[in-house]
Amino acid sequence: MLITLISDPHIAPPGEHPFGVDTRGLFAGALEFQSREKSDLLIITGDLSYRDGDESSYKWIKKQLDDNQTPYRIIGGNHDDSSVLARTFALEDHLHNSIELYYEEKIPGHHLICLDSSVGSLSKLQWSWLEEKLTSERELKKLIFMHHPPTEAAAPYMDKNHAFREIDKFRKLVKKSNCRPAVFCGHYHLEKSLILPEMDVFICPSTFFNLDDKYRDFKVLNNKACYRGVELSEEMLRTSVYYQ
């Protein structure tokens, strides 16, 4: 089973190139680039929209994804509107309290848990749901997909200014569940692997811009079509990032 992740495309309106970047071209490039994997499932880990949940950007992404023909899933980021995402991608069944888009899926040997951290935290309802999912069907390896890394990530600018607001709560819940999930996220606009006592966290870089984490301030490292590949088997989980 092969899963590919594309993150933080931040699709701008047609003709608009924020910071001189062709967000549509880079997303389309990443989609084409990852198609060499013959992936079984593609997951977009949030911030589909450049600013704030622009429906026309969502419709454009949906057309690209539908044309690509790899089955895909969507999760929301802090620049998304989960209810507009749900409406555009026909995911209303997974929209909770009209504001949070979260859901699960089971594949042989693995339990995919897709969260909605778009407001930088989780609702009480979503916390209870997550606890239930982490403690059920323990024979399945838990894979969590969420926009925000649920830990600090040795990325000074993002840790200081844009971190998930409930890191301690998340880490305590995961530790208590004792299931050692692999967590896949975006949001930080860089590539990173973090091996923690209670979970492994893998951050997928952005197709819009990536940051250089050697600097404390905002410093762009690259603008490239890129994706993370995740190969799953009974014996191992292998993941790598590729830049075009």
Chain residues binding Fe ion by CB under 5 A are 47, 77-78, 187
Shortest distance, position 41 Cβ to Fe ion, whole Å: 22
Task: Pick between residue 163 and residue 173 the one whose CB is nearest to Fe ion.
Answer: 163
DSSP structure class, residue 94 = G
Least spacing, CB of residue 180 vs Fe ion, in Å: 26
Give the shortest CB-80-to-Fe ion separation in angstroms. Answer: 9
**Residue with nearest beta carbon to Fe ion:** 187
Pairing of strands 110-114, 141-145: parallel
Least CB distance to Fe ion at residue 189 (A):
8
Query: What is the secondary structure of 2-48 as a DSSP string?
Result: EEEEEB---BPPTT--GGG--HHHHHHHHHHHHGGG--SEEEEES--
Name residue 222's beta-bridge partners: 210
Closest CB to Fe ion among 47 and 213?
Answer: 47
CB 90 within 8 A of CB 61: no
Signed CA dihedral, 18, 81, 226, 163: sign only = positive
Nearer residue to Fe ion within complex by CB, 40 or 52: 52
Q: Which is nearer to Fe ion, 51 or 180 (CB)?
A: 51
